[in-house]
Chains A and B, each alone.
Chain A
Amino acid sequence: MTKKNKVAGILSVILLIVFIISLITMLVTGVVVLFMFIAVPVGGFFDGLFDGFRGDSDADYTMGEFVEITMAFITATMFVVVSSRLMEVLRTISAGTPFEAENADRFKRIAKVIFFAELAKLAIVPVAFLWAVLFGVEYGDGGGLSIDLTNWLGAAVALVLAEVFREGARLQEEQEFTV
């Protein structure tokens, strides 16, 4: 096994672990978010089904906690997509064909997912806060607005890598069609 394949193999195992943990987290938080959302008292069908988001002292959870769980769900979903795409990229590296147009598309997709996930995490706070104010729901301490610069940088790096792989694919094609 070459050094390159060994590194790709180790990274694949790490990414697989990340993928599985993220998938479980996504499913669990997804179910929690769904149940919490159903319990929101918006004058809808499910009022009183669950005791949540209440303005009184009996509240099981606050809007801030709902926002935190939703953010965890978004982050887990982002990790699932990113890790699965990276595993596909590593597979092509192991196969010895990393410079293909599909890898450029994969990195572009990673950048898009990170961008929209971070955007959603930023947008959910004011929406939830407005909701809490409108319906007289307790917001609580958690679920504050925070900007994760590392993730935004990650999206930028993924975009740069997408262009690098696109150029690499072009050069690879040129090389293949040079006689």
Chain B
Amino acid sequence: MAINVKLDRILLERGMSLTELSERVGVTIANLSILKTGKAKAIRFSTLEAICKELDCQPGDILSFDDS
């Protein structure tokens, strides 16, 4: 997959669990797991905004493009 999701790394850096993030952004753990494991087909701007706000980061910190 060309787009890599680095949510687990950011969560580790912030010392936050997926459950806690789920409660804070109002997205189910199932959906966050889909995002974390790279199975997601799309991400809403509202979800990305909420995650960035709670983790105090930029979208680029969560997503990266892999050309190989």
| Chain B interface residues (CB < 8 Å from chain A) | 27, 31-32, 34-35, 39-44, 47
Neighbouring B residues of A173 by C-beta, 8 Å: 41
Kindly provide the distance from the CB of A174 to the nearest chain B CB, expressed in whole angstroms.
Answer: 5
CB-nearest residue of chain B to A178? B42
Q: Is the interface of A mostly helix, strand, loop or mixed?
A: mixed
Q: A179-B27, A179-B43 are in contact. List 8 more A-B contacts (CB 8 A).
A: A177-B42, A178-B42, A178-B44, A179-B31, A179-B34, A179-B42, A179-B44, A179-B47
CB-nearest residue of chain A to B51? A179
Cα distance, A179 to B7, chains bound together (Å): 13
Cα distance, A177 to B47, chains bound together (Å): 13
CB-nearest residue of chain B to A177? B41
Neighbouring A residues of B35 by C-beta, 8 Å: 179
Kindly provide the distance from the CB of A158 to the nearest chain B CB, expressed in whole angstroms.
Answer: 29
Which positions 163-179 of chain A face chain B at CB distance < 8 Å?
173-174, 177-179
Cα distance, A173 to B27, chains bound together (Å): 18
**A 143-179 to B, binary, CB cutoff 8 A, 1 in contact else 0:** 0000000000000000000000000000001100111
Q: Report which residue of B27, B35, B41, B43 has the largest number of chain A beta carbons within 10 angstroms of its beta carbon.
A: B41
**A 102-120 to B, binary, CB cutoff 8 A, 1 in contact else 0:** 0000000000000000000
Cα distance, A97 to B47, chains bound together (Å): 26
Neighbouring B residues of A177 by C-beta, 8 Å: 34, 39-42
CB-nearest residue of chain B to A173? B41
Neighbouring A residues of B41 by C-beta, 8 Å: 173-174, 177-178
CB-nearest residue of chain B to A170? B41
CB-nearest residue of chain A to B33? A179
Kindly provide the distance from the CB of B53 to the nearest chain A CB, expressed in whole angstroms.
Answer: 15
Neighbouring A residues of B42 by C-beta, 8 Å: 174, 177-179
Cα distance, A173 to B40, chains bound together (Å): 10
Instruction: Enumerate 5 A-B pairs (CB-CB under 8 Å) in ascending A order.
Output: A174-B41, A174-B42, A177-B39, A179-B27, A179-B42
Cα distance, A173 to B47, chains bound together (Å): 18
Kindly provide the distance from the CB of A94 to the nearest chain B CB, expressed in whole angstroms.
Answer: 25
